């Protein structure tokens, strides 16, 4: 007598959608679901394994015995195996033991749709539910007011394993501890959003979470799924949005993972030229297979629905878009038109973005895309990929390259800064100073700055001031907000002890005030993706290494004037042209003594003169503090 009862959650319509690649809530059907059949409580299991000869559920409840709980394959050629096991309870540990038709290979696999996984290095899945009483109704109802593209996005990028640890034992904080410490800190420093590096279950710590196995499970390193819900909930209650890094680009070959799942290339592309990533030694999804598309888009929808996430930052989009990415000649095959673009990926990304925006209000998708692929953040109905934003990798590279130069040489390299404005509005750009910029010998952001200690920190304040007044949204990796000295080490806590020193406290206060400036001055966000929101005053004063520009909002009265002095020479009586009469008031100055600057300021109301300059009818003389950004409002 079978220990598994014949039962199904699938309708014929579900199967049709799945086969067509249009089922975007597969997590409601596939996986392990606590339910009741004929008055008996237990668990319904369903797994996609079309090349399997047999599929058994094995676990701590049957001594991991193959054949004790055999699932039945559906009659409809969907490749789905399913069945109900009575009397199983939440918390039971299990895997699928799959015997393949391809040579009788037998493998034990974690459930691709598991809601919870064992704590690594253990690899089994855990029967769990998603029950939780959310308390963030105010945030969810008003989410578009926080997350639309004409709102401020100042994102704090966090790796949970190394943001902070318990010092005496170097152990991780828990989700519940983050829900206190991290939430309070982000609120204090004024960031509008947190972006978590991947929190989906991953086996290998040095991957930083970018090689996923449990796509539907928050990692158990820090607690239970509901504990992560508490963290998101608390962030929302504090008025802070949550963005998750999402990795549909590749997955590891770990034996318990998605690779060669049923004895065939099920999730990965069978052609190694398309199905294997040489840089990361990982497998690449088969974006042309309908069931795989359903899996990935369902996963995106899952985090937005069940974890109330406000956005997904999609990792390594460039590696997905190009067939020749990191491949030599002869190692890739052109598309049907002879090009290098992966047409299946393009189609998939468009469908993913359409599904996200059709199902949720006030969310955003963000592409980490490092090439000049066109229209990444343009709507699909105009031919774009449909992302809300795209990382501005060129700005990041050029800006850091400029700031690393000794100030005496900067006059020869001003084009490194001004070049970004030639393409700044071709996409909806986010300016990232991310984790990738503080590893592998690149040094921390603070330690890239030239000069003595005072100049290093003045340069850092200048960099952040320039970043926050440049068009586009902002992203800053954890530790950069207080001038972390050492490179990021995923195995250790940030160097929080640095905040006992004045220069580091000054950087943190600078970031806090810049966040407040960004959030309260509409000129810095209302038109952050539009050419109408920016106007150069003077970009050609190479000799003095000074840039000046105007940021504009929807109302003329909100315009801001920004002047950046990229040398340590204080400049008195520095004249800039302006478009109209009136007065200016200095509202931000990165050289203030409260930031550990030298304290050179423009105090009081500053009169604009009817004196032509910079091709404009009016002008004003300002004092430019050394290595500074000063921001002025019109009175």
Q: Point out the residues that are catalytic.
A: 315, 368
Return the axis-axis angle of helices 290-306 and 343-359, rounded to nearest 10°. Answer: 30
Q: Exposed, middle or buried, 373 (CB in 10 Å: 0-12/13-18/19+)? A: middle
Q: Which residues of 214-229 are buried (b: 16+ CB within 10 A; e: fewer)?
A: bbbbbbbbbbbbbbbb
Q: Give which of 398, 393, 537, 521 is closest to 468, Cα–Cα.
A: 521
Do 420 and 394 contact (CB within 8 A), yes or no? yes
Do 187 and 92 contact (CB within 8 A), yes or no? no
Q: Which residues of 314-352 are buried (b: 16+ CB within 10 A; e: fewer)?
A: bbbbbbbbbbbbebeeeebeeeeeeeeebebbbebbbbb
Q: In what order do the strands lie in the sheet with 560-565?
A: 534-541, 546-551, 560-565, 628-634, 583-589, 605-607
Chain CA centroid to CA 482, Å: 21
* Residue 186: partners with Cβ closer than 8 Å, 6 or more residues away: 156, 194, 235, 238, 240
609 φ, ψ to 5°?
-100, 150
Nearest 5 degrees, angle CA 509-CA 511-CA 512? Answer: 60
**8-state DSSP, 348:** H
- CA-to-CA distance for 46 and 10, rounded, in angstroms? 9
- CA-to-CA distance for 357 and 378, rounded, in angstroms? 13
Strand partners, 324: none
Residues in the chain: 635
Q: Is the dihedral of CA 289, 293, 294, 299 positive or negative?
A: positive
* Residue 393: partners with Cβ closer than 8 Å, 6 or more residues away: 369, 370, 432
278, 282, 285, 291: CA torsion to nearest 10: 160
């Amino acid at each position: 007598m079978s220990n598994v009862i014949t039962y199904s959650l699938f309708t014929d319509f579900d199967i049709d959608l799945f086969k067509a690649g249009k089922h975007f809530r597969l997590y409601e059907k596939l996986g392990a679901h606590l339910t009741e059949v004929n008055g008996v409580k237990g668990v319904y299991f369903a797994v996609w394994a079309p090349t399997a000869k047999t599929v058994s559920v094995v676990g701590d409840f049957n001594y991991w015995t193959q054949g004790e709980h055999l699932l039945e394959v559906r009659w409809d050629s969907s490749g789905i195996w399913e069945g109900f096991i009575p009397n199983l309870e939440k918390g039971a540990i299990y895997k699928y033991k799959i015997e393949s038709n391809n040579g009788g290979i037998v493998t034990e696999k974690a459930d691709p749709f598991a809601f919870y996984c064992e704590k690594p290095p253990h690899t089994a899945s855990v029967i769990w539910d998603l029950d939780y009483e959310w308390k963030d109704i105010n945030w969810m109802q008003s989410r578009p007011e926080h997350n639309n593209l004409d709102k401020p996005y100042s994102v704090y990028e966090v790796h949970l394993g190394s943001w902070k640890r318990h010092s005496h034992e170097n152990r991780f904080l828990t989700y519940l501890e983050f829900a206190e410490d991290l939430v309070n800190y982000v609120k204090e420093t004024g960031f509008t959003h947190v972006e978590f590096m991947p929190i989906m279950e991953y086996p290998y710590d040095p991957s930083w979470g970018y090689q996923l196995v449990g796509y539907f499970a928050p990692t158990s390193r820090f607690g239970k799924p509901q504990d992560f819900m508490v963290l998101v909930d608390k962030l929302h209650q504090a008025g802070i949005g949550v963005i998750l890094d999402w990795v549909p680009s590749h997955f590891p070959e770990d034996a318990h993972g998605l690779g060669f799942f049923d004895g065939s290339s099920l999730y990965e592309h069978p052609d190694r030229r398309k199905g294997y990533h040489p840089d990361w030694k990982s497998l690449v999804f088969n974006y042309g297979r309908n069931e795989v598309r359903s899996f990935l888009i369902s996963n995106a929808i899952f985090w937005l629905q069940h974890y109330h996430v406000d956005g997904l930052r999609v990792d390594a989009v460039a590696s997905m878009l190009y067939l020749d990415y990191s491949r030599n000649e002869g190692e890739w095959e052109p598309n049907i038109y002879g090009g290098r673009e992966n047409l299946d990926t393009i189609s998939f990304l468009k469908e993913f973005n359409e599904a996200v925006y059709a199902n949720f209000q006030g969310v955003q998708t963000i592409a980490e895309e490092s090439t000049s692929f066109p229209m990444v953040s343009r709507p699909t109905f105009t031919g774009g990929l449909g992302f809300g934003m795209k990382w501005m990798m060129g700005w990041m590279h050029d800006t850091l390259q400029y700031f690393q130069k000794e100030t005496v040489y900067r006059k020869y390299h001003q084009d490194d800064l001004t070049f970004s404005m030639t393409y700044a509005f071709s996409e909806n750009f986010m300016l990232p100073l991310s984790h990738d910029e503080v590893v592998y010998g690149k040094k921390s952001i603070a330690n890239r700055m030239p000069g003595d200690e005072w100049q290093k920190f003045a340069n850092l304040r200048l960099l952040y001031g320039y970043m926050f007044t440049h068009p586009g949204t902002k992203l800053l990796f954890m530790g950069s907000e207080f001038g972390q000295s050492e490179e990021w080490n995923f195995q250790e806590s940030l160097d929080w002890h640095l905040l006992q020193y004045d220069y580091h406290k000054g950087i943190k206060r600078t970031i806090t005030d810049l966040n407040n400036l960004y959030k309260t001055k509409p000129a810095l966000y209302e038109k952050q993706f539009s050419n109408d929101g920016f106007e150069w005053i003077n970009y050609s004063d190479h000799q003095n290494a000074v840039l000046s520009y105007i940021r504009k909002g929807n109302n003329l009265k909100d315009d801001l004037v920004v002047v950046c002095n990229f040398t340590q020479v204080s400049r008195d009586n520095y004249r800039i042209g302006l478009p109209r009469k009136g007065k200016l008031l200095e509202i931000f100055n990165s050289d203030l003594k409260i930031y550990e600057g030298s304290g050179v300021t423009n105090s009081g109301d500053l009169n604009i003169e009817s004196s032509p300059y910079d091709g404009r009818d009016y002008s004003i003389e300002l004092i430019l503090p050394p290595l500074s950004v000063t921001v002025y409002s019109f009175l």
